[in-house]
Amino acid sequence: MSGTVIFFLVLYYVVVLAIGYWAMKKGAGDDLEGYLLGGRKVGPMATALTLQSTSMSGYMFLGAGGLGYMQGYWALWYAAGDVGGGVLNMSVIGRRMRKLSQIMGALTAIEYLEKRYPSPAIRLFAGTLTVFLLGFYALAQFIAGGKGMALVTGMPYPAALAIAVAVILVYTFMGGYLAVAYTDFFQSLVMLTGVLWIVIACLHELGGLTAANEALGALDPTLLSVWGRGLGFQGQWGIVAGALLIFSVGYMGWPHVVTRHMAMTRPGTARKAGMWATLWNLLFVPTPYLVGILAILILPELDDPEMAIFEVAGALLPAAVTGLVMAAIMAAIMSTADSLLLQTGSIAARDLYERFINPHATEKQMVWVSRSLVTLIAVVGYAVALVEPPTVFSIVIFATSVLGSAFLPAYLCAVWWKKANTPGALTSMVIGALVAFTWEYGGHVEATRIHPMLAGLVCSSITMFVVSLLTQKIAPVPPQVLEAMDETAEVGPIPPAMLAAADFSLAPTAGAIGRMLNAERRDD
């Protein structure tokens, strides 16, 4: 790649780091709520775009393009579910979760589950599972960043991977949620601009969408079907249903995504955020899949389908524009990676270490635990990605399927069903995670033609309802939880008396984080 491409990519890094630094200083508070949730003052547009850019990840530029290249228009089943995901997320649980989390004083998505379903076992299982899966999900971002860096710079994959991981680490260490939200907002605009530019170049190269479809039909008519290349998925509605669910209702069960609800300025922000999310999704979501499909004609001999969007950009666009597209791809990777690592570190420090290992943890110990785990994930992720890198698509589908299957019923019922209790939530999480995992790796997908997400979600939902109803007498929902749920159904501000439950006892941790970051800046 030319020096111009590298210049634009470096310029992008500088701008993102500058925005992150500015937002970190602007949002740095003296309490943990300010560090983990941006003081609950993120507006509708920023909420929508940080939610969408975080949920999209490097998958959209590697996995989505690769799937389109391999399967043709069948890949758009995933896009069809994803387009409505943002508004579903905001409409179904956004406003209510915002109110309930503040009433209960929850500052992380896992702490929220324990306060809604009071039991240390809830927090221990949910926290451990989330740390594992988010760490695994981060691996996909490392691989995507390494592949992108290798193509842009021409350097060997190991060196490119090391640079990508290092950049993501530095970026994550910059600070708390508000920095992440503002930089995600910027990165989502870069992502949208880049992907629209490249699809326009593809259509211009092929003479329009109609001409492209005619050429695809002449090459292989099955590429135009909804059943995939060679009609390999014909009649497999169980797979289609899973593809629709995973990115529509699925990410109502992703802890690093639902945290966005908790950080909104007010509960009513959810409605406007849903509108912005839908508008952005309509323009962005189908486009990477479409570029992958068009790449079949532009680059018929491509060795690695997941590099379709990178290669098409290099083949069709001027150097300056290619630099912008590369920046968009790195934006997708970094906007998810920073959120994954920030959430993983926060959950490890607050929900596991302080909660179960050292209840009297000092400020420095909390910071040390969070950053140590993030660094460990980076080191292990680098080693795994270097030795045997799986496809980004397979990692993302695995991690998100298990997350959605395990947590979606728990988050959904937390605000909508008063009979959802602790035994129901805990068994639902365990069953959902186990079914999705064994379905994927036990050969059940091939045998049943049912997607792991669909199988896991059905089983976890049934478990939630059955166990909750059977255990109502021995494990009733606490009165204070029922009272809080009644308030979430109301439109309007939270009564001051109901905020008495808020517990910010770890506020000094935020102060320690802020002081540590300020000291590092002075040292620099």
Q: Do the domain assignments include residue 500?
A: no
pLDDT of residue 470: 97
| Domains: count for the chain | 1
Is 226 inside a domain boundary?
A: yes
| Residue 262, domain CATH | 1.20.1730.10
Give the integer Cα–Cα distance in Å for 363 and 413.
34
Confidence (pTM): 0.82
- The answer to the question of residue 291 being in a domain is yes
Closest CA to 401 of 393, 410, 390: 393
Residue 303 has a pLDDT of 87
425 in any annotated domain? no
Measured at the CA of 496, the angle between CA 493 and CA 500, to 5 degrees, comes to: 125
pLDDT by 10s per residue, the chain, length 524: 456 667 777 777 787 777 767 766 665 444 455 555 555 667 778 777 777 777 776 778 888 999 999 999 999 999 988 888 888 888 888 889 989 988 888 878 899 999 999 999 999 999 999 998 888 888 888 887 788 778 777 788 888 888 888 877 776 666 556 666 677 777 788 788 888 989 999 999 999 999 999 999 999 999 999 999 999 999 888 888 888 888 888 778 888 788 888 878 777 788 888 888 888 889 999 999 999 999 999 999 898 898 898 889 888 888 777 777 777 777 667 767 777 787 788 788 878 888 888 888 776 677 778 778 888 888 888 888 887 666 776 777 788 889 999 999 999 999 999 999 999 999 999 999 999 999 988 888 888 888 898 999 999 999 999 999 999 999 999 999 999 999 888 877 777 777 654 544 433 344 444 444 444 444 44
In a domain, residue 490? The reply is no
CA dist., res. 270 & res. 304, Å (int): 40
* pLDDT value of residue 409: 96
Helix (H, G, I), strand (E, B) or coil at 119: coil
What is the residue range of 210's domain?
3-393
The answer to whether 75 and 68 have CB atoms below 8 angstroms apart is yes
Q: Is residue 245 part of a domain?
A: yes
Q: Calculate the alpha carbon distances from 435 to 403, 421, 441 in Å.
A: 11, 21, 10
* Domain contains 223: yes
Closest CA to 57 of 244, 250, 187: 187
128 part of a folded domain: yes
**Cβ contacts of 278-282, under 8 Å, gap ≥ 24:** 278/83, 278/84, 278/86, 278/87, 280/48, 280/49, 280/52, 280/86, 280/188, 280/192, 281/52, 281/82, 281/83, 281/84, 281/85, 281/86, 282/83
- Residue 331: the pLDDT is 67
